Amino acid sequence: MKKPSFVLRPTVGAIALWAVAAAANAQTAAPTMETVTVEASADASSEGLAKPFAGGQVARGGRVGLLGQQDIMDTPFNQTSYTSTLIRDQQAKSVGEVLLNDPSVRGARGFGNFQELYVLRGQPMYSDDLAYNGLYGLLPRQYVASEFFERVEVLHGASAFLNGAAPGGSNLGGSINLMPKRAGNEPLSRVDLGVQSGGQGSAAVDLSRRFGPDNNTGVRLNAVRRDGGTAIDGEDRSLTALGLGLDWRSRDVRVSADLGYQKDKLKAARPSVTPTTFIPAVPDNKTNYAQPWTYSNAEDVFATARAEWDLNDQITAWAAGGLKRGKEDNSLTTPTVRDPSGAATTTRFDTKREDDTATGEIGLRGRFVTGAVKHQVVASASWFRHEERNAWSYNFTQVPINIYNPVGSPPLPNTTVSPNMNNPLRSAVDNLQSYALADTLSFYDDRVLLTLGLRHQTIEQTSYSNATDLETGSYKKSATTPVAGLVFKATPEVSLYANYVEGLIKGDVAPATAGGLPVTNAGEVFSPYKAKQKEVGVKWQQGGLGATAALYTVDKPVSYVQNNVYGQFGTQRYRGLELSLYGEAVKGLRLLGGMSFTDAKYQETQGGVAQGNDVIGVPRRQLTLGGDWDVPGVQGLALNARVIYTGSQYANAANTLNVKAWTRTDLGVRYLMDIGNDRLLTLRARVDNVFDKQYWASVGGYPGSNYLVQSAPRTFAISASVDF
C-alpha cells in the first residue's frame, strides 16, 4: 500500500519556496516580529490562546485553520470560541451540550445510532469531522467528554481552504475545533463530585503543575468517571476518560503533546424514531421505547504532538501529527411508527467497527514588507489516512411495539451474520493530501487586511469487501479551493468583513441502476464537489460587550439520475442571517446568545419534484439567549438562565410533514466560598428543560433522512468542586 508523503508537488512546492525566500530576503525596512509573551496555558504557538473576552464565557479569538490563532476583529470569518469557564459553570458534559449556546448550531444524531451530530447553518457536521488542535479524525467519533478541552471553537461557514476537506464528508456549514488543556502558570488541584437525575454519579480530577527553568515544562492531567441511570426510564450510561497534556518551551522552540483515552457505554438508550406518513405525537419525556437488550459501546485511544520553531525573526516552521485507534460494538433498533396510536415496528441491527487514523501537517509562516504593504505568508502540506474495519449482523423481522406504552421483548436472533463478526476486516481506506498557500496583506496601518489563498486537495478512497478483505473499487480525484477575505477596520470598535470560500466533499460514483433501469455512465467517478459561499458581516466590540452580524449564501450541488445518466444536475441554496451578542453588559451581568435565520431551498431537483421547497430538517428561525448574574450583596453567589428556541422543521422533501417549533428553558445557580487553607469550594446546581417541555428536538441530520430525536426530560444536576 502506498504510504502518504509530505513531498510537495513541483508547482506548489515552487510557490512555497518562493514565499519563504521572499520572507528571508525581504527588504531591510521589514520589521522584526514583535516579542510575544507565551502564556503558560498556551499551545505550541507563538500567539498562544486568545484571551477571554469580558465575562469569560467566550474568547477574543481562536484558531482559524492554517492561518493560526487570530483575534476575532482581524479575521474575515464568523467565529465563536467557548471557554472552559462556560463549560464548568453550565456543567456541560459534551461538545453537543456546549453548542446549545450557539444560535446557529443544533444537535442531532447519526443515522441509526447515538453519535452526536451538529447542524451548522442548516448542514450536518459529523462528529467524525471534529478537529483536535487543528487535526481531523483523532477524537472519539460518537461522543467526546468535555473534560478534554479548554476551548470549543466554532467557525461558521465553509472552510475547505482553512482546514482542508473533512475526511468524514461534512463541514459544508461550518467546522469545530477543540483546543486541549494545558498547565497554567499557577498550580491547580481540583476535585469534582456530582449527581444528576436518574442517579448518575460523577467524579473528576484536574491536576496541573509547571517545572524547570522559568517553568518551561507543563503537565496537566484530567480524569473523569460517570456511571448510572439518566432521567429517561431504564437508560444507563457510563464513561471513563483520561487526558494528559504536556508542553515545553524555550526561546525559539515550543512543543506540546496530548494523550487521551475514553470508554463510553450506553445501555437501553432511547433510539430515534422514523415516521411514515405522519408525525407522531411526542411521548412523555421519560418514556423509553428502547429494547432492554440494546447497547452501544465505544473505546478510543489517541495521541497528538505539535511543535513550532522560530527560524529567525521573520520565519516560523511548524509540524503536527496524531494517531487514533477506536473500537465500537453496537446492538441497535430504530422504531418505525405505523399508526397515530403509537403502534410501531422495529428490527435488530448489530455492528462492530474498528478505526485507525494517522494524520500530519507541516508548514512555514513568514512576515515581510513590500513597499507600504505588510505580508503574512503561510505555506503548508498535510496528509490523512484512515482505515475502517467493520462487521455486521441483522434480523429484519418486524417486531411490534408501541412508543407510548413500550414493552420489552426478547432479543431477536440475528439471521444474517457477516463471516468476520469476531474479527472485523477492512471496508474502506481513505487517504487525503493537500497543499496550501496564503498571503494576508495589510494596508493603511493595518486597517485593511486582505487574505488570498489556494489549497490543492487530493482525495483517494479504496473500498474492500469486509467478508474477504479484497478490494472492490477505488477512487482518486483532486480539486483546488480558493479563499478571498477582506477586513476593513472602520474604527477600533467596528470591523467590516467579506469572504468567498468553498466547502469540499468527496465526489460520487455513478450507480449501476436507478429505479430498476441501467445507468449509462455506471461506475464513473466524479471529482470532489464544492459548495460555494459568499458572506458579508460586521463585528463590534466596545467596553465589555461584543456583537456580530453575518449575511451569507451557499450553493451546493446535488447528484441524481437524469435521462439514465448520473450527474450533478441539482442544487440546493442556503441563505441566512446570523446575529450574536456576548460579553459583560454591566458589572456582574454576562450575556451570551443570538438569533439565526435560515432559508434552505431545493433549487433544482430530479423531475422538478419538491423544487422550491424547504430542505428537510432546517428550521427557519433559531434563538439562544443566556444570562449569568452575580447577585448583589451576596459574595460568590451567581444565577444563570438560558432560553433555546428552534422553529418548525419539515420532515419530508414534499413539505407535507412538519415538526412543531419548540422552546426550552434552563436555570442554574452556583456559590463560591473560601473554606480556608487556600481552598475554594464551588457548589453548582442546574435544571435543564425546567418546564419539562415535550418535543421532537431534531429531524434527520443525515442528508435526506427524516428520523426524529426526542427531547430530554427535566434533568437536575448538582456538583461540588474543590480547588486546593
Query: What are the domain boundaries of the chain?
Result: 61-723
Neighbour tally for 466: CB within 10 Å: 22
Residue with cell 474604527: 491
Residues 154, 158, 159, 165, CA torsion sign: positive
Average pLDDT over residues 384-402: 94
Cell of 124: 450536518
The yes or no reply on domain 61-723 and CATH 2.40.170.20 is yes
Average pLDDT over residues 120-126: 93
Q: Which residues contact 678 (CB under 8 A, 6 or more apart)?
A: 724
| Buried-state track 89-114, b at ≥16 Cβ within 10 A, e below 16 | bbbbbbbbbbbbbbbbbbbbbbbbbb
pLDDT for res 42:
55
Q: Which long-range contacts (CB under 8 A, 24 or more apart) does 307-312 make?
A: 307/44, 307/253, 307/254, 307/255, 307/256, 308/44, 308/45, 308/46, 308/253, 308/254, 309/252, 309/253, 310/33, 310/46, 310/251, 310/252, 310/253, 312/24
Q: How confident is the model at residue 29 (pLDDT cuts 50, 70, 90)?
A: very low
Contact status, residue 52 vs residue 546, Cβ threshold 8 Å: no
The rounded percent of the chain whose pLDDT value lies above 90 is: 77
Give the three-class secondary structure for 316.
strand
SS (H, E, C) 441-455: EEECCCCEEEEEEEE
Q: Of 47-51, 187-191, 310-314, 638-642, give the lowest mean pLDDT range.
A: 47-51
Average pLDDT over residues 75-79: 97
Contact status, residue 85 vs residue 57, Cβ threshold 8 Å: yes
88 vs 395: CA distance, rounded Å: 43
Helix (H) / strand (E) containing 593? strand 589-604
Q: Taking 70 as the threshold, does the pLDDT of residue 37 lie above it?
A: no
Contact status, residue 101 vs residue 118, Cβ threshold 8 Å: no
Average pLDDT over residues 298-318: 96
Give the three-class secondary structure for 586.
strand
Contact status, residue 146 vs residue 130, Cβ threshold 8 Å: no
Q: Which residues contact 33 (CB under 8 A, 6 or more apart)?
A: 46, 310, 313, 314, 367
Over residues 533-568, the pLDDT tens digits come to: 999 999 999 999 999 999 999 999 988 888 889 888
pLDDT for res 21:
38
Average pLDDT over residues 657-669: 97
167 vs 428: CA distance, rounded Å: 12
The pLDDT mean for the chain works out to 91
Q: For residue 104, which amino acid is it?
A: S
Contact status, residue 97 vs residue 150, Cβ threshold 8 Å: no
151 vs 83: CA distance, rounded Å: 5
Cell of 227: 456511571
Neighbour tally for 3: CB within 10 Å: 8
pLDDT for res 608:
85
pLDDT for res 44:
67
Over residues 199-225, the pLDDT tens digits come to: 999 999 999 999 999 899 999 999 999
484 compared with 411, residue with greater pLDDT: 484
Q: Taking 50 as the threshold, does the pLDDT of residue 13 lie above it?
A: no
Residue with cell 423544487: 611
Q: Taking 90 as the threshold, does the pLDDT of residue 61 lie above it?
A: yes
Q: For residue 318, which amino acid is it?
A: W
Between the two ends of the chain, the Cα-to-Cα distance in Å is 53
pLDDT for res 424:
93
pLDDT for res 667:
98
606 compared with 165, residue with greater pLDDT: 165
pLDDT for res 208:
96
What does the CA dihedral 204, 107, 712, 147 come to, rounded to 10 degrees? 0
Average pLDDT over residues 390-403: 93
CA distances, 382 to each of 119, 391, 479, 480 (Å): 26, 31, 15, 14
397 vs 346: CA distance, rounded Å: 8
Give the three-class secondary structure for 65.
helix
Neighbour tally for 663: CB within 10 Å: 12
pLDDT for res 523:
77
Over residues 465-487, the pLDDT tens digits come to: 888 889 888 889 999 999 999 99
The rounded percent of the chain whose pLDDT value lies above 70 is: 94
Least Cα distance to 602 among 590, 611, 592, 591 occurs for 611
CA distances, 316 to each of 28, 47, 67, 310, 442 (Å): 19, 12, 13, 4, 19
Residue with cell 448518575: 200
Cell of 703: 442528508
Neighbour tally for 33: CB within 10 Å: 16
Least Cα distance to 63 among 205, 158, 144, 175 occurs for 175
Over residues 1-11, the pLDDT tens digits come to: 333 333 333 33
Contact status, residue 298 vs residue 326, Cβ threshold 8 Å: yes
pLDDT for res 524:
82
305 vs 707: CA distance, rounded Å: 39
Cα 85 versus chain centre, distance: 19
Q: Which long-range contacts (CB under 8 A, 24 or more apart) does 663-668 make?
A: 663/693, 664/688, 664/689, 664/693, 664/695, 664/711, 665/641, 665/689, 665/690, 665/691, 666/641, 666/642, 666/690, 667/639, 667/640, 667/641, 668/89, 668/90, 668/91, 668/639, 668/640, 668/641
Average pLDDT over residues 574-579: 97
Average pLDDT over residues 104-133: 91
Cell of 349: 441491527
171 vs 157: CA distance, rounded Å: 8
Q: Which residues contact 134 (CB under 8 A, 6 or more apart)?
A: 63, 65, 163, 177, 306, 320, 361
Neighbour tally for 549: CB within 10 Å: 15
| Buried-state track 625-652, b at ≥16 Cβ within 10 A, e below 16 | bbebeeeeeeeebbebebebbbbebbbb
44 vs 310: CA distance, rounded Å: 11
Q: Taking 50 as the threshold, does the pLDDT of residue 390 lie above it?
A: yes
Give the three-class secondary structure for 248.
strand
Helix (H) / strand (E) containing 594? strand 589-604
* Complete DSSP assignment for 653-700: TTS--EEPPEEEEEEEEEEEEEEETTEEEEEEEEEESTT----EEEE-
Residues 115, 121, 122, 123, CA torsion sign: negative
Contact status, residue 294 vs residue 343, Cβ threshold 8 Å: no
